[in-house]
Amino acid sequence: MRNLKWVILALVVIGLWACKKEAQEFHPQEGRTFSARVYTLSPEKVTLYRELPATVEARRRARLSSKVAGFVREVKVSEGDRVNRGEVLLRLDDRDIRQRLRALSAAAQALRKEWQEVSAREAFARAEYERFRKLFEAEAATAEEFEARKSEYEALSARKAAVAARIEEIEARLAEVKTLLAYTVIRAPFEGRVVRKLVDTGTYVGPGQPLLELESEPEGKRLVCHPEETLFGRIKPGKSVLVWIPSAEKALELTVSEVVPEVDPGSRTFTVKIDLPRDFPWPSGTYARVFLPAGEREILVVPSAALVDRGGFRAVFVVDQEGLVQLRVVRTGKTFWRSAKGLAPVCVARPCEAYVEILSGVVAGERVMVSPPAGLREGDRVKGD
């Protein structure tokens, strides 16, 4: 009986403690007050852009190939070297060609000597033919004597013509070999930089085989992209575009320099070229993203600093008319950068502030807190602009 009293007393004490705790939880702590920047949402008209991959390439590029077969005797440049127009870059072994040149020169010289001898004999035979023709007409020479002089003259004339034809043929071959000799020396076609060296000393190359690749530095570089055919006609030379170079973390505002008037039937795209500044330092092949204007529309945006992550969702703290904050989950869209020129998909004119498109969760006219402090919760109060 005595134990039962103690049990009842313990239950009463526990019940009173639980009621006290419930009462404390029922009355929340009074909200705190923070000073912060408040942003009011309002519709803004922005330019829509079509984002496309692009590649940096030289405005002028040349692949130097061999026109003759042979071994590479000397490579005078390395990748990255700057060269001047006409500078010797590479030499091929020309010993076989020079040997052919010497043989043809000797043959041509021998034929010229033979032609001179035959010409002298042909001139004498022509004189004899003319003399005997007159004697034969005057009946002072027999027909056999006249025919003998005539046959000798015609034979020497034919031989002279044959030698002349052979000389012409040899001289044509000689000129061809001299041209081939010039092809063994590879020179720079313009001022620029060696970007690729495809052979080394001792390599055997055939006609048409690439040797070196050059890019013109004075003429600069450009971007090349391939929009889909639905944009053809809307992109014209002189149109302003935005460019982002990820490797350099740099944005540029450029203009279209050329639109190739042809659609590739395989990819259904056409080619757009955009000139880069003359002092653009990044090499050919650099990846870039081009933003082509594709229309306008009104959107709602908030500063990126206003967004917080809650359980994998993005949210903002909405501030009501009394300054109380309420957490609101939102659905976001694209990121824009605000500068003196307005909203754009890249930061062209610094300083810039990141803004994020809001698709749902808040409406125009509502206010959100920018850079909410850690520990902020619903019921807290915000004092700010």
The alpha carbon dihedral of 36, 41, 46, 49 has a sign of positive
- Exposed/middle/buried for residue 187 (C-beta within 10 Å: 0-12, 13-18, 19+): middle
Q: Which of 112, 29, 69 is nearest to 211 (CA)?
A: 69
How high is the pLDDT of residue 382? 82
Report residue 345 as tokens. 């998909």
How high is the pLDDT of residue 179? 87
Listing DSSP states for 122-160 in one string gives: HHHHHHHHHHHHHHHHTT-S-HHHHHHHHHHHHHHHHHH
DSSP, collapsed to helix, strand or coil, labels residue 367 as strand
Q: For 245-265, how does the pLDDT look when each residue is reduced to its tens digit (9 = 90+)?
A: 998 888 999 999 999 999 999
| CATH 2.40.30.170 is the classification of domain 52-59+216-296 | yes
Fold of 33-46+297-383: 2.40.420
- 31 to each of 10, 50, 141, 313, 377, how far by Cα in Å? 36, 46, 147, 24, 9
**Low-confidence spans in the chain with pLDDT less than 70:** 1-31, 384-385
Residue with tokens 């070196």: 212
How high is the pLDDT of residue 139? 79
d(CA 363, CA 360): 8
| CATH 2.130.10.10 is the classification of domain 62-90+187-215 | no
How high is the pLDDT of residue 25? 45
How far is Cα of residue 27 from the mean position of the Cα atoms in its chain? 67
Sheet harboring 61-65: ordered strands across? 61-65, 210-215, 192-197, 82-83
